[in-house]
């Protein structure tokens, strides 16, 4: 009986080791521009995936980071197998969830932060003041979260049938390029649907003002960005998936407790030249927070996409969009 017990123990041990060894030893993760991706910057700069991987029993793991300018590019990279984990706005993610029939889901949320339409046109105080002379920069026309927020705002003001009323005014530009275009005074760009820190930096310019804030449009806070992956990766790498979530939770907690150090880390990693005080001020704004669990009202975005025919399947709950480790 003792020999049988020893044999079973050995088999279980070997099986467990084989399962761990079968998980990926190289991980490719994408991020984008801006403070909304600060948790990923912290994870990269502080080596948190390696730290938690070792604690989970991984002997060695290589992490490669890439930066994309928008969610559509990230989606293509995930589907092509160029990366394992992507980050981006909830709009391109929800479209990908629908396109793949749920084969791509979010692993965790990244942040709660508002999107703001800034304008250099003094005549544009509300959406009703926009004309064909205005050009609004955002990361990707029609598919980005910025584009979706503009559509939702338009539908709120002009009715659902007019949700795309301002789509023809939008121009695809990365946030850093949009910032330069809006503040230079030498571009056709008159507006920018921006995230932090770009929206605050732009508003330092006395000629630039806020037209609307997404929190006002939605009547409160919302999850803005998520990290997502394929069902295949999630099933084949359960321990590594948990490692990523654990690293994200540690990064979120560190940012909360170390705002000034987090601001310094962001400036160093992004090679940004903004004053430290501005970044630290942004991180202390009550409307900005980082947490892995999403707000349930993320389905407001998916409901709108379904109602306008942009997606074919309507999630019944936020849990339909996220893998179960974060439920």
133-158 pLDDT, tens per residue?
999 999 999 999 999 999 999 999 99
Are 173 and 227 within one domain? no
* DSSP state letter for 322: B
Residue 212 pLDDT exceeds 60: yes
Report helix angle 276-283 to 259-270, nearest 10: 130
**Number of folded domains in the chain?**
2
Q: 214 and 115 in contact (C-beta within 8 Å)?
A: yes
* Closest residue by Cα to residue 32 from 201, 176, 241: 176
Each residue's pLDDT tens digit, 15-37: 444 444 579 999 999 999 999 99
**Residue 228 and residue 105 share a domain:** yes
- Kindly report the backbone phi and psi dihedral angles of residue 289, in degrees, each rounded to the nearest multiple of 5, phi listed first: -150, 155
What pLDDT is recorded for position 12?
43
Mark 65-82 as b/e (b = at least 16 C-beta within 10 Å). beebbbbbbbbebbbeee
Claim to verify: residue 64 and residue 206 sit in the same structural domain: no
Percent above pLDDT 90 for the chain: 90
CB 244 within 8 A of CB 55: no
Let me know whether 231 and 206 are in one domain: no
- CATH number of residue 60's parent domain: 3.40.190.10
According to DSSP, the β-strands at 191-194 and 26-31 are: unpaired
What is residue 129's DSSP assignment? Answer: G
- According to the model, what pLDDT value does residue 263 have? 98
Contact (Cβ atoms closer than 8 angstroms) between residue 243 and residue 58: yes
Read off the pLDDT of residues 80-124 as tens digits, 9 standing for 90 and up: 999 999 999 999 999 999 999 999 999 999 999 999 999 999 999
Range of the domain at 122: 116-218
pLDDT at 311 over 60: yes
**34 near 175, Cβ under 8 Å?**
yes
How far is residue 183's CA from residue 319's CA, in Å, rounded to a whole number?
A: 41
Residues 251 and 312 in one domain: yes
Q: What is the DSSP letter of 101?
A: T
pLDDT of res. 71:
86
- Do 81 and 131 sit in the same domain of this protein? no
Say if residue 239's pLDDT is above 70. Answer: yes
Q: What per-residue confidence (pLDDT) applies to 72?
A: 85
At 57, list the tokens. 């029993």
Q: Are residues 8 and 106 in the same domain?
A: yes
Would the CA dihedral through 241, 247, 248, 250 be positive or negative?
positive
Q: Which of 218, 247, 270 is the last residue of a domain?
A: 218
**pLDDT per position as a tens digit, 111-123:** 999 999 999 999 9
Please give the pLDDT value at position 18: 42
Question: Mind listing the pLDDT tens digit for each residue in 152-210?
Answer: 999 999 999 999 999 999 999 999 999 999 999 899 999 999 999 999 999 999 999 99
| Domain co-membership, 143 together with 181 | yes
Whole-angstrom distance, CA of residue 299 vs CA of residue 86: 20
**122 is written with which tokens?**
């003094």
Are residue 239 and residue 106 in the same domain, yes or no?
yes
- Token couple for 279: 């970044």
> What's 148's domain CATH number?
3.40.190
User: 């940004």: which residue's tokens?
Assistant: 272
Q: What is the mean pLDDT of residues 247-270?
A: 98
Given a cut of 90, whether residue 304 has pLDDT beyond it is yes
Same-domain pairing of 105 and 231: yes
Candidates 146, 163, 106, 141; CA nearest to 304 is 163
Tokens 């503009």 -> residue? 150
**Alpha-helix residue ranges (DSSP H) falling in the chain:** 2-22, 38-45, 48-55, 71-80, 90-99, 145-158, 175-184, 198-203, 214-218, 231-236, 238-257, 259-270, 276-283, 299-307
User: Residue 185: its pLDDT value, please?
Assistant: 85
- Looking at residue 15, its pLDDT comes to 44
pLDDT, residue 20, reads 47
46 pLDDT tier (thresholds 50, 70, 90): very high
Cβ contacts of 324 within 8 Å, gap of 6 or more: none
Last residue of a domain, one of 175, 193, 218: 218
Q: Are strands 116-119 and 191-194 parallel, antiparallel or unpaired?
A: antiparallel
Reported pTM: 0.91
Residues 203 and 285 in one domain: no
Last residue of some domain: 190, 218, 246?
Answer: 218
Average pLDDT along the chain: 93
Say yes or no: 230 and 88 in one domain: yes
């Amino acid at each position: 009986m003792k020999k049988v017990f020893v044999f079973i123990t050995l088999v279980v041990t070997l099986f467990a080791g084989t399962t761990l060894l079968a998980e990926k030893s190289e991980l490719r993760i994408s991020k984008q521009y801006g403070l909304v991706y600060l948790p990923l910057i912290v994870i990269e700069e502080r080596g948190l995936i390696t730290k938690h991987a070792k604690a989970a029993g991984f002997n060695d793991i290589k992490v490669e980071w890439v930066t994309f300018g928008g969610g559509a590019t990230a989606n293509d990279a995930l589907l092509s197998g160029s990366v394992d984990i992507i980050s981006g706005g909830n709009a391109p993610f929800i479209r990908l969830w629908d396109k793949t029939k749920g084969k791509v889901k979010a692993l965790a949320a990244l942040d709660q932060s508002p999107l703001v339409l800034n304008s250099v046109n003094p005549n544009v105080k509300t959406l009703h003041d926009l004309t064909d002379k205005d050009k609004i920069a955002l990361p990707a026309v029609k598919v980005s979260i910025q584009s979706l927020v503009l559509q939702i705002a338009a539908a709120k003001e002009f009715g659902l049938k007019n949700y795309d009323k301002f789509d023809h005014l939008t121009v695809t530009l990365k946030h850093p390029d949009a910032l330069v275009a809006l503040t230079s005074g030498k571009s056709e760009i008159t507006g920018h649907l921006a995230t932090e820190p770009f929206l605050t930096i732009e508003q330092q310019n006395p000629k630039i003002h806020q037209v609307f804030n997404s929190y006002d449009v939605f009547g409160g806070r919302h999850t803005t960005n998520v990290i997502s992956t394929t069902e295949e990766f999630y099933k084949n790498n359960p321990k590594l998936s948990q490692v990523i979530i654990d690293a994200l939770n540690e990064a979120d907690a560190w940012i909360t407790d170390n705002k000034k150090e987090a601001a310094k880390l962001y400036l160093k990693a992004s090679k940004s030249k903004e004053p430290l005080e501005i970044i630290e001020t942004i991180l202390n704004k009550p409307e900005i927070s980082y947490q892995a669990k999403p707000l349930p009202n993320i389905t407001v975005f998916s409901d709108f996409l379904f109602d306008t025919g942009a997606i074919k399947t309507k999630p019944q709950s936020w849990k339909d969009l996220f893998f179960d480790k974060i439920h």
